Chain A
């Protein structure tokens, strides 16, 4: 009897050790996957190629936002709750990239300072579609639908372009980017503010 109990105890002990060993194999890192993918710093200086990159977009947006909030027009716009809009920035470079990344960032940063802006372009289609759906589809309760004809127009708009000059030799590539942004009073067409950001990138080949 005593020898049987001893065997049971040994079995329990072995199971306990095995459980502890398995627990020790568990990792406390909240990650999954073994593909070698890792996260980096989104604010790091990106120098992978001379093409327009994240650092360029961030530096351009930052400079333009800092310039805009210093203008009396934007400070008055915030006080009087007037509206701003951004026309699409023209991409005059030889590269493809979505220029809305720049204007979207500028508008977001301005909004954090109290600037109100209205949508345009692609977003406008979604806006009118929703207005039509609520008012003309017959699907919605009359008391719970938003009214047509209440949208508000902007007093100022942002407009700009980005251009580049590319120079290449057998061992060097040099790219010069220039982004220009203007604040225009829509009613009069007067350019109230403008600024530029220049960037030079070079790579040995």
Chain B
């Protein structure tokens, strides 16, 4: 038992921390990985051209501020659609369905979505991105 659940050796811990360091430093959060207050989902076409390269969220003045960065790895412009869902601490929706919003991500470029929650009750979010091209 002692061997199986003993304290991790310092060398393994150092390797793990080293691997995590760039992600923590840049604040980068790939799609599907949750941030403090929510997460993002991306429905892809076959090409996998669009990716959520960064996702950040913070609570300020009782409002949730979210910033997501979409990256287009292909050379052609892509039209994507996105919307947010806003929830309270219990995961219940606190706002009506948002409209889908069109967004052009130019080829080999990044596009930032920056929003603030429409309600003071929102404590978490879900960003839904569709890339139907």
Q: Residues of A at under 8 Å CB distance from B?
A: 43-45, 54-55, 58-59, 62, 65-67, 69-70, 75, 109, 112-114
Contacts and interface: CB of A to CB of B under 8 A. Distances in A.
Contacts of B97: 43
B28 interface: no
Contact of B116 (A44, A45, A66, A114): A66
Contacts of A67: 116
Contact of A45 (B61, B102, B118): B102
24 contacts: A43-B83, A43-B97, A43-B99, A43-B100, A45-B81, A45-B99, A45-B101, A45-B102, A55-B99, A55-B100, A55-B101, A58-B99, A59-B101, A62-B98, A62-B99, A62-B118, A66-B115, A66-B117, A66-B118, A69-B63, A69-B116, A70-B116, A109-B118, A112-B119
Interface in B32-76: 61, 63
Interface of B: 61, 63, 81, 83, 95, 97-102, 115-120
B114 to A, nearest CB: 10
Contacts of B99: 43-45, 54-55, 58-59, 62
Closest 4 CB pairs of A and B: A58-B99, A43-B99, A66-B116, A45-B100
Contacts of B100: 43-45, 55
For A58, A62, A65, A114, which residue has the most chain B Cβ atoms within 10 angstroms?
A62
B47 to A, nearest CB: 21
A43 B95 CA distance: 13
